[in-house]
């Protein structure tokens, strides 16, 4: 990123509700892929990433309520208890909303460092609930938060690109 | 609260902190209800039915790959496999003959002894639909559910031994907790000596632990553990695990015994669900109070 994107001048289409919903659904589908073994430990939480992206870029549209709802959907699938993902994602969304001005000041590489603690906190909340209920925690689980943070930059570029208007005028 | 914040032009509803507290409390309430009571199971099963097509869609590429892999097998492999199977069939047939005669003999002896006949369990073949996606859990999903009369508590096994137990039933799916799950225990018996114990999962796919085994207990590496059938959930005599390593440290009262599961807990695609297990007679209420009360009741009835 030698030449940072002129983010503030960039013209983005307003994100429609449909686009937000579809991106979250796509993230849920990615989480449902049959991950196994080492990949399961390294699996990034796509839903957390997409929810965090929207909380940081559209803090008045996507908030803790939506994150909580998506968390409930994730709980249904994952054979975890109702509310486990929801709690983690609520904390995540809160972090994103509180930090949204600050994160947007940085370029993508620095954003990764800003986003990592928030993700780690959400992972820790999930693990803490599990520990409280079952009395043990698999430490490999936390690798996922680092992998998720590394995926922040590519995911932001992708979602940003999808929100840009089509370049018909340039032709 | 409003006074401490700067003046707002637009009313955006409650502040993020308030929302966080609200949704956290809601989550904690849900967690508590779900962990303690069974109220949310129906909601979970309806939602899972809604999501099932999507899940099928997501796992479609994987199963397509499996299908293609099975289709494009080398002919030499097939020939070799056929040869092996033929040989095994020959040896098995001989063993089967012996088994049949032994079975007949055993049945006769049992009838002579007037022992209650052990019923043949009816079995149901089910295919693994999904494996666990949560790193903390050893669970998998089978493609038979309440529609095929699967019930929670039924035992799941493969051709060589016990794999786990059905813990949750959805309309078209059932969730199986593997014996290697950390929270799962199976009552077992050492086949060689008849010593009874309980084997616990360790959270690892290839390891089980036999806890609370005295240092002086007669157990050796290589011993086979079979279900003892004492709990009434597992039928007796199903192979569960083989003892792989024993550490006897006189400083501790119990020996550390590690076992490997007999069944290919993570290798199978088709599994058997046992159903129609014989019901054990009800456990008598043997508390001393009830014994003391009974004569009183009889006395009250008489006048």
- Tell me, yes or no, whether B249 lies in a domain: yes
Residues B160 and B269 in one domain: yes
d(CA A13, CA B49): 36
Residues B173 and B80 in one domain: no
Phi, psi of B58 (to 5 degrees): -65, -40
- Tell me, yes or no, whether B287 lies in a domain: no
d(CA B295, CA B298): 5
Measured between beta carbons, the chain B residues lying within 8 angstroms of A41 are 135
B132 within 8 A of B140, measured Cβ to Cβ: yes
B133 and A32 within 8 Å at the Cβ level: the answer is: yes
DSSP A26-38: HHHHHHHS---HH
Report the number of distinct structural domains present in chain B: 3
- Tell me, yes or no, whether B220 lies in a domain: yes
Residues B125 and B272 in one domain: yes
A87 and chain B: CB distance < 8 Å anywhere? Answer: yes
Residues within 8 A of B (CB atoms), A 105-144 only = 129-130, 133-134, 136-138, 140-141
Of B12, B19, B168, the CB nearest to A64: B19
Domain containing residue A22: CATH number: 1.10.1760
- Tell me, yes or no, whether B303 lies in a domain: no
- Tell me, yes or no, whether A138 lies in a domain: yes
Of B19, B28, B33, the CB nearest to A87: B28
Measured between beta carbons, the chain A residues lying within 8 angstroms of B131 are 34, 36
Domain containing residue B148: CATH number: 2.40.10.340
Angle, CA B229 vertex, CA B225 and CA B235 arms, to 5°? 95
Residue B270 belongs to domain spanning: 121-278
Residues B109 and B196 in one domain: no
Of A29, A87, A133, the CB nearest to B54: A29
Of B24, B51, B134, the CB nearest to A79: B134
Residues B133 and B157 in one domain: yes
Residue B66 half-sphere exposure toward CB, CA atoms < 13 A: 7
Report the number of distinct structural domains present in chain A: 1
B19 and A140 within 8 Å at the Cβ level: the answer is: no
Q: What confidence tens digit (pLDDT) does each residue in A48-93 have?
A: 999 999 999 888 888 899 999 999 888 886 667 788 899 999 999 9
- Tell me, yes or no, whether B302 lies in a domain: no
- Tell me, yes or no, whether B37 lies in a domain: yes
Residues B174 and B41 in one domain: no
For A19-27, the CB contacts below 8 A with 24+ separation are A19/A162, A19/A163, A20/A54, A20/A58, A20/A61, A20/A62, A23/A50, A23/A54, A23/A159, A24/A50, A24/A51, A24/A54, A24/A66, A24/A70, A26/A50, A27/A51
B137 and chain A: CB distance < 8 Å anywhere? Answer: yes
Residues B169 and B267 in one domain: yes
Residues B158 and B260 in one domain: yes
Residues B140 and B203 in one domain: yes
Residues B216 and B110 in one domain: no
Residues B100 and B57 in one domain: no
CA distance A65 to chain B (A): 7
Q: Which residue has the tokens 């809604």?
A: B50
Residues B176 and B146 in one domain: yes
pLDDT per residue rounded down to tens, chain B (303 residues): 444 455 556 666 778 888 899 999 999 998 888 888 777 777 888 888 888 888 788 878 877 887 887 777 778 888 899 999 999 998 998 889 889 888 888 887 776 565 444 446 677 888 888 777 666 677 888 888 888 888 888 888 887 888 899 998 988 889 898 888 888 899 999 988 888 999 998 877 788 998 888 888 888 899 999 988 887 788 888 889 999 999 888 888 888 899 998 887 666 677 888 876 666 677 777 665 544 444 444 444 444
B58 and A77 within 8 Å at the Cβ level: the answer is: no
B175 and chain A: CB distance < 8 Å anywhere? Answer: yes
Is the complex ipTM more than 0.85? no
A68 and B54 within 8 Å at the Cβ level: the answer is: no
């Amino acid at each position: 990123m030698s030449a940072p994107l002129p983010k503030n001048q960039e013209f983005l289409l307003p994100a429609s509700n449909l686009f937000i919903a579809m991106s979250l659904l796509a993230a849920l589908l990615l989480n449902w892929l049959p991950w196994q073994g080492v990949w399961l430990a390294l699996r990034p939480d796509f839903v957390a990433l997409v929810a965090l992206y929207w909380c940081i870029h559209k803090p008045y549209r996507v908030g803790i309520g939506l994150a909580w709802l998506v968390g409930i959907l994730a709980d249904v699938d994952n054979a975890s208890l109702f509310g486990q993902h929801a709690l983690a994602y609520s904390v995540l969304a809160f972090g994103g909303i509180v930090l949204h001005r600050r994160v947007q000041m940085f370029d993508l590489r620095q954003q990764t460092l800003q986003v990592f603690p928030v993700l780690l906190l959400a992972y820790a909340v999930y693990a803490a609930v599990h520990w409280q209920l079952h009395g043990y925690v698999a430490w490999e689980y936390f690798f996922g938060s680092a992998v998720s943070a590394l995926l922040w930059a590519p995911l932001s570029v992708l979602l940003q690109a999808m929100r840009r208007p089509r370049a018909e005028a340039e032709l | 609260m409003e006074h401490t914040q700067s003046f707002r032009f637009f009313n955006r509803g409650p502040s993020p902190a308030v929302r966080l507290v609200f949704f956290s409390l809601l989550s904690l309430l849900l967690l508590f209800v779900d962990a303690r009571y069974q109220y949310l199971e129906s909601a979970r099963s309806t939602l899972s039915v809604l999501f099932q097509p999507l899940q099928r869609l997501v796992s479609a590429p994987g199963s397509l790959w499996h299908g293609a892999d099975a289709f494009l097998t080398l002919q030499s492999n097939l020939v070799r496999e056929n040869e092996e199977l033929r040989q095994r069939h020959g040896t098995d047939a001989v063993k089967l003959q012996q088994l049949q005669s032994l079975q007949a003999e055993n049945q006769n002896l049992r009838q002579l002894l007037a022992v209650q006949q052990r019923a043949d369990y009816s079995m149901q073949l089910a295919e693994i639909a999904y494996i666990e996606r949560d790193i903390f859990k050893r669970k998998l999903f089978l493609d038979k559910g309440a529609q095929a009369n699967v019930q929670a508590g039924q035992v799941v096994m493969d051709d060589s031994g016990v794999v786990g137990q059905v813990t949750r039933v959805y309309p078209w799916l059932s969730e199986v907790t593997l014996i290697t799950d950390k929270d799962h225990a199976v009552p077992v018996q050492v086949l060689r000596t008849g010593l009874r114990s309980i084997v616990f999962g360790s959270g690892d796919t290839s390891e089980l632990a036999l806890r609370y085994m005295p240092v002086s207990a007669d157990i050796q590496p290589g011993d086979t553990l079979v279900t003892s059938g004492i709990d009434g959930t597992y039928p007796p005599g199903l192979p569960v695990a083989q003892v792989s390593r024993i550490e006897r440290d006189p400083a501790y009262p119990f020996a550390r015994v590690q076992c490997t599961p007999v069944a290919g807990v993570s290798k199978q695609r088709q599994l058997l669900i046992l159903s129609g297990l014989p019901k054990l007679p009800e456990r008598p209420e043997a508390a001393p109070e009830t014994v003391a009360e009974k004569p009183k009741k009889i006395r009250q009835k008489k006048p």
